[in-house]
Structures are given as C-alpha cells and as structure tokens.
C-alpha cells in the first residue's frame, strides 16, 4: 500500500510540472540591429557604359541627374546657308526655331515694321511644300471669303544651287499664338515666303508685315534669299 501511494505522489508531481511547463510562454528571439547598407554614387570612371560606350541616359558624366533638356533650336551645325542682311535691316533676338530674325523698317503711313525670320528644319526633308503652303494660307483671310490656297501666288526663283520656291499671299493676317496669347488680326498684310530645298533639309525665309512695307522690301528680300543660296541671278516673278 505504501508503494502504491508513493507512485501516486510521483505521477501527480509529474503532471503538475508538465502543466506548469505548458503554461510558460517561450521568450521572443532577440535581433541584433544592423547598419543600413552604404551605396556609392557612381562616377564617370565607375559607371557602366551604354550600348555604344556612352554614358547611360538620365545621368551626366559627373554622376548627377540630367537637367531639363534644352529647347530645340534650328541653328544649323554644318553646311549652313549664309544670309547677309542689307543695310537698314535691324537684327532682332532669335525666337525658338529660328536662325536669324530682322525688323524691316516700315514705310510712311504704316504703323508697324515688317518681320523677317530664317529657319532651318533638317527633319522636314520629306515634308511636301504643299503642306506648308496650306498652313501659311490658313493664316490669311480673304475679303470675299475664299480660302487662301485659291489666291496664293507661287513661282520658282532661278539662279541658285538649290530648288527655291517663292510664296506670296495678302489678306487679313491672323498671327499664331505667342506666349500663350493670340494676337489680334492685322488688316492688309502680306507674306513673302521662300523655301530652299537642300540635302540637309529645307530652309525657310518668311517676310510678314503691312502690305506696303513688304512690297517696298520685296526686291531686297529676293536678293537676300538668292545670296543665301549663292545664287547668280533673281527672277522677280509677279509684282
């Protein structure tokens, strides 16, 4: 009997110890803090080269990000035509997409000078002139309501190295928007525009202003265009 009582006591003690062990919660694991990894800013010497051995897009050779891309300009890099302005033409600051800009003094009785701009667009080699003419003519309203393409005059300027076409249109001129604002229409305006087709893309010379002022400078305009292409002669075309 004493032996049986002893066994009961051992079994009871074991059950109590097991219960206490089950109730004890395991301690959470301890994590040692780690320092964040350190990265080195790539430099021109360590940066991987692009597919053609150039610096990858989006970074400069100094390792920093690129700034905003510059405004595209039509300033030619090589093989440029050279235009020499005659006396009396006043140079003006270049506008976007222009190479040269001049003010041609107004004649007596007019309120504004005429504006002449030279542009070069290498990427427009395959754009037909007819598309440009349509765009230019859309800026001129006719008194009888006819579209400008029905009244525009067009002829070839001879004597140059490159095919050159002259466009002439008059009417109520509606300038395109400038600096976010659309200028008011101008009555009795005239535009003389020249397209010079070269292997490096077309050149455009546009003269816009009051009709009398543009007519006054017409011959100087044609000589300016012809000289820019190193032409030997000018056929004036319609007056």
Residue with tokens 């002022």: 213
> Which tokens hold the place of 44?
């021109």
Rounded to the nearest integer, the mean pLDDT of the chain is: 74
Backbone conformation region of residue 171, classed left if phi is above 0, alpha if psi is from -120 to 50, else beta: left
**CA nearest neighbour of 195 among 237, 151, 228, 235:** 228
Separation in Å, CA 143 to CA 13, 133, 146, 197: 117, 19, 8, 33
HSE of 49 in the Cβ direction (CA atoms, 13 Å)?
Answer: 5
Question: What does DSSP say about strands 114-120 and 140-141: parallel, antiparallel, or unpaired?
Answer: unpaired
> Which tokens hold the place of 16?
């109590």
Render pLDDT for 60-94 as a digit per residue (tens, 0 to 9). 333 333 333 332 333 444 457 889 899 999 999 99
Show the domains of the chain with their CATH numbers: 90-228 (3.40.1000.10)
Residue 176 confidence (pLDDT): 74
Q: Are 119 and 200 in contact (CB under 8 A)?
A: no
Could you tell me the pTM of the whole model?
A: 0.63
d(CA 70, CA 72): 6
Render pLDDT for 137-155 as a digit per residue (tens, 0 to 9). 999 999 998 988 899 999 9
């Amino acid at each position: 009997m004493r032996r049986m009582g002893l066994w009961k006591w051992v079994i009871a003690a074991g059950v109590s110890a097991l219960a206490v062990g089950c109730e004890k919660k395991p301690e959470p694991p301890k994590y040692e803090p780690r320092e964040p990894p350190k990265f080195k800013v790539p430099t021109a010497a360590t940066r991987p080269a692009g597919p053609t051995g150039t610096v990858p897009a989006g970074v400069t050779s100094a390792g920093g990000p690129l700034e905003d891309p510059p405004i595209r300009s039509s300033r030619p890099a090589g093989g440029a035509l050279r235009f020499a302005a005659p006396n009396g033409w006043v140079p003006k600051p270049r506008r976007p997409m222009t190479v040269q800009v001049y003010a041609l003094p107004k004649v007596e009785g007019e309120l504004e000078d005429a504006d002449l701009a030279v542009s070069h667009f290498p990427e427009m080699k395959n754009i037909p002139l007819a598309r440009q003419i349509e765009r230019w003519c859309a800026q001129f309203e006719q008194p009888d309501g006819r579209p400008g393409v029905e009244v525009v005059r067009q002829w070839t300027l001879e004597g140059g190295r490159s095919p050159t076409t002259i466009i002439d249109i008059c009417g109520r001129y509606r300038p395109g928007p400038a600096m976010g604002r659309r200028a008011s229409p101008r009555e009795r305006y005239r535009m003389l525009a020249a397209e010079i087709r070269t292997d490096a893309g077309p050149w455009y010379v546009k003269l816009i202003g009051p009709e009398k002022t543009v007519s006054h400078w017409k011959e100087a305009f044609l000589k300016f265009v012809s000289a820019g292409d190193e032409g030997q002669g000018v056929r004036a075309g319609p007056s």
